[in-house]
């Protein structure tokens, strides 16, 4: 929707000069300009910036310039003050240094999500070593931001959880779904956990498991089930769930499946034939109509099996919805990660061209990696044009146990890869500690990038700024440009990522309701944005608001805490 106002008026020294500002241009093309150089920056660039300290099996953006990494019980080189190997670290994006965090339970193949109040919760894991680390299978962990460390609540989960998925609900509580009761290469009936639990417990006393029959019918490929909150205006808690090839819409309020979607064509999509899923950007222009995209995987749990080179898109609200298939850019990929970029495009990165997710078999020269043919380049996917573009290649294979997440400056952090059962450095796919940053092409645009100066009169990223649903908020931005800007706004939840599953990742365009130039300040604009109307569109919790000019993102998004009050 292009909105151009063709009049000028003066109020209190502010010059409202609307014909120079385009807002809500969705999508917008950039003005034609010659590039300043002829380098390959049009495909983005990679830079190795630091060491994660622990292998990055799980990752979450905890603050504008800090990322938490979580590994499993193994002998990482980063040590805690007590001399034990750390299995979680806090990574500082300014210093590129990792600080050890204190965890005493095994976090192997666990999950995470934020409460509506902004508290990070992490749950599940695997068995301990009977010496220094205890079992994490029924552990719930709370990250205390004031303390800067974990608090572990052992034994509070009503059942063992290995490979579960977590999601923030519209009421701000967290749902923990599925998994198995013990570690396994593929799920099986005797250890399947086809239930969910909610934290904090609705009863206010003890957590309780509730049956979820869908996960009893999707064996053996149903670990880390794909899970997305479905937007609606009826106040319902509707969940999209996909495991194996099967997908449903589930009404949590009445405890029933309300839609059974067609099976997704092609290979299997769930661990160990791991694909990835993402809900395409939501927009108020079509009342936040949800479309889910699922990509990658494999047809068979065999080392030589070529990975799946298909994606399916499904319009969840369309009557008799059918999967719309494509060829995933023409490149087979198992264990891909899907990451929103600030401009609404999607980056697919990491993974292998053959095999499946799992630890290597055997030791020494005869060891076999169960996934091979690393795909070193990402794809940039345009959800409007439905096109793929190959971007610059990394030099580091990112195989099993890799991660990728958007950062507030518009770049993407990539780390991890550890397909061995212990820290192993002298093999084809070693335990990786190198942290890379990918700088997408839009960061090399000659189009000026906005700088958000304040939100609701608060300076940005000094604290989480509290905002509420349907609120109209005011941002002040600086934009040095000789050309009329074309501004768009979005709110993004960056998610908690592990095993190609980015829990709660969400992208919602925001309406820019008003915009004007402040002639009393050089290159300064004042914008008013309307936030989404209800928590089914984006769940409560910590998110980032971005402004972008054509495709050029702001210098940094601004962290907010969105809640109903």
Transcribe 203-272 into DSSP letters. Answer: TSS----EE-GGGGSSTTS-BS-EEEEEP-SS---EEEEEETTEEEEEETTTTEEEEEEPPPSSSB-SBT
pLDDT value for 11: 28
Residue range(s) occupied by CATH 2.130.10.80 in the chain: 48-443
Do 205 and 248 meet the contact criterion of CB atoms below 8 Å apart? Answer: no
- pLDDT for 33 equals 33
Would you mind telling me the total number of residues written for the chain in this entry? 565
Kindly list the distances between the CA atom of residue 408 and the CA atoms of 51, 101, 556, 557, in Å, as whole numbers in the listed order.
20, 23, 5, 5
Q: Is 438 helix (H, G, I), strand (E, B) or coil?
A: strand
Structure tokens belonging to residue 62: 């905890």
Instruction: Tell me, letter by letter, the H, E, C secondary structure of 484-532.
Output: CCEEEEEEEECCEEECCEEECCEEEEEEEEEEEECCCCCCEEEEEEECC
> Which segments of the chain belong to CATH 2.60.40.10?
448-563
- Chain centre to alpha carbon of residue 354: 24
Contact 239, 252 (CB under 8 A): yes
Q: What is the pLDDT of residue 521?
A: 87
**Whole-number pLDDT of residue 519:** 78
Instruction: Tell me which architecture the domain covering 448-563 has in CATH.
Output: Sandwich (2.60)
**How many alpha carbons lie under 13 Å from residue 54 in its C-beta half-sphere?**
30
pLDDT, position 9:
27
Closest CA to 159 of 188, 124, 133: 124
Q: Give Cβ neighbours of residue 16 (< 8 Å, ≥ 6 apart).
A: 8, 9, 10, 516, 517
What is d(CA 564, CA 541) in angstroms, rounded to the nearest whole number? 10
How much is the pLDDT for 22? 59
CA angle centred on 394, ends 303 and 30, rounded to 5°: 120
DSSP 328: G
Quick one: which of 209, 232, 226 has its CA closest to 270? 226
Q: What is the DSSP string of 60-114?
A: EEEETTEEEEE--SS--S-B-TTSSBPSEEEEETTTTEEEE----B--TT-EEEE
DSSP bridge pairs for 197:
176
Q: Pairing mode, if any, of strands 14-17 and 210-211?
A: unpaired
Report DSSP state, residue 402.
E
Q: How many angstroms separate the Cα of 72 from the Cα of each of 88, 105, 126, 544?
A: 8, 9, 8, 29
Q: Which residue has the tokens 């079509």?
A: 286
Structure tokens at 407: 């950062």
CB of 197 closer than 8 Å to CB of 174: no
Q: Does residue 220 have a cis peptide bond before it, meaning omega lies within 30 degrees of 0?
A: yes
The helix or strand, by DSSP H or E, that contains position 166, with its residue range, turns out to be strand 165-168
The CATH homologous superfamily for domain 48-443 is Galactose oxidase/kelch, beta-propeller (2.130.10.80)
* Interatomic CA distance for residues 343 and 231, integer angstroms: 21
Angstrom distances, CA of residue 332 to CA of 312, 336, 362: 14, 10, 26
Q: How far apart are CA 267 and CA 67, in angstroms?
A: 33
Question: Under a CB-based contact definition with an 8 Å cutoff, are residues 243 and 270 in contact?
Answer: yes
CA distance 70 to 331: 30
How far is the C-alpha of 507 from the C-alpha of 72, rounded, in Å? 30
How is residue 383 written in tokens?
């959800």
Residues 151 and 120 sit within 8 Å (Cβ to Cβ): no
- Whose tokens are 């076999």? That residue is 368
Pairing verdict, β 501-503 and 558-563: unpaired
C-alpha closest to that of 412 among 297, 490, 502, 326: 502
Q: Which residues contact 190 (CB under 8 A, 6 or more apart)?
A: none
**Binned average pLDDT, 10 residues per bin, the chain of 565 residues:** 29 36 47 40 96 98 98 96 96 98 97 98 94 94 96 97 98 98 96 98 87 98 98 97 98 98 98 98 97 98 98 97 98 98 98 97 83 98 98 97 98 98 93 98 95 96 96 96 91 98 98 89 94 98 97 97 85
Peptide bond into 27 cis (omega under 30): yes
Given a contact cutoff of 8 angstroms between Cβ atoms, the answer to whether 498 and 357 are in contact is no
Task: Output the pLDDT for position 565.
Answer: 63
């Amino acid at each position: 929707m292009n909105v151009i106002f063709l009049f000028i008026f003066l109020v209190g020294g502010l010059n409202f000069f609307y014909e120079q500002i385009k807002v809500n241009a969705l999508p917008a093309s950039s003005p034609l300009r010659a590039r300043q150089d002829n380098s390959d920056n049009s495909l983005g660039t990679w830079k190795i910036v630091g060491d994660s300290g622990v292998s990055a099996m799980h990752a979450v953006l905890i603050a504008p310039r800090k990322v938490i990494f979580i590994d499993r019980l193994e002998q990482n080189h980063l040590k805690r003050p007590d001399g034990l190997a750390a299995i979680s670290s806090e990574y500082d994006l300014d210093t590129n240094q990792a600080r050890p965090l204190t965890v005493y339970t095994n976090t192997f193949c666990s999950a995470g999500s934020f409460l509506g109040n902004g508290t990070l919760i992490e749950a599940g894991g695997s068995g301990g070593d009977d010496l220094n680390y205890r079992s994490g299978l029924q552990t719930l962990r709370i990250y205390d931001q004031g303390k800067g460390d974990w608090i572990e609540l052992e034994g509070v989960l009503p059942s063992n959880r290995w490979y579960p998925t977590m999601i923030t609900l519209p009421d701000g509580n967290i749902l923990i779904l599925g998994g198995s009761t013990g570690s396994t290469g593929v799920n099986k009936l005797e250890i399947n956990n086809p239930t969910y639990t909610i934290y904090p417990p609705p009863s206010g006393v003890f957590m309780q498991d509730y049956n979820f029959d869908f996960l009893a019918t999707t064996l053996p490929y149903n670990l880390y089930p794909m899970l997305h909150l479905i937007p609606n205006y009826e106040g319902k808690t509707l969940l999209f769930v996909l495991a194996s090839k099967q997908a449903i819409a589930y009404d949590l309020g009445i405890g029933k499946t309300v839609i059974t979607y067609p099976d997704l064509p092609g290979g299997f999509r769930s661990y160990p034939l791991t694909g990835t899923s993402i809900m395409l950007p939501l927009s108020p222009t079509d009342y936040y109509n949800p479309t889910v995209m699922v990509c990658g995987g494999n047809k068979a749990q065999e080392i030589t099996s070529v990975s799946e080179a298909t994606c399916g898109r499904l319009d969840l609200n369309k009557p008799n919805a059918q999967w719309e298939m494509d060829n995933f850019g023409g490149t087979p990929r198992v264990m891909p990660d899907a990451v929103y970029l600030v401009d609404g495009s999607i980056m697919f990165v990491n993974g292998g061209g053959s095999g499946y997710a799992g630890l290597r078999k055997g030791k020494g020269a005869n060891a076999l990696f169960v996934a091979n043919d690393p795909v070193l380049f990402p794809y940039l996917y345009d959800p409007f044009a439905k096109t793929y573009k190959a971007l610059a290649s990394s030099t580091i294979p990112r195989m099993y146990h890799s991660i990728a997440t958007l950062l507030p400056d518009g770049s993407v952090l990539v780390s991890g890869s550890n397909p061995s059962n212990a820290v192993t450095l002298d093999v084809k796919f070693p335990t990786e500690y190198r942290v890379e940053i990918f700088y997408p092409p839009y960061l090399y645009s000659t189009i000026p990038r906005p700088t958000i100066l304040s939100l609701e009169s608060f300076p940005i990223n000094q604290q989480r700024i509290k905002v509420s649903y349907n609120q109209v908020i005011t941002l002040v931005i600086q934009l040095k440009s000789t050309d009329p800007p074309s501004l768009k706004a979005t709110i993004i939840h960056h998610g908690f990522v592990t095993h190609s599953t980015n829990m709660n990742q969400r992208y919602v365009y925001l309406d820019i309701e008003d915009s004007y130039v402040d002639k009393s300040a050089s290159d300064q604009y004042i914008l008013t944005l309307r936030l989404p109307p209800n928590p089914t569109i984006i769940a409560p919790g910590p998110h980032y608001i971005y402004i972008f000019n054509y495709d050029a993102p702001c210098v940094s998004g601004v962290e907010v805490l969105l809640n109903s009050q």
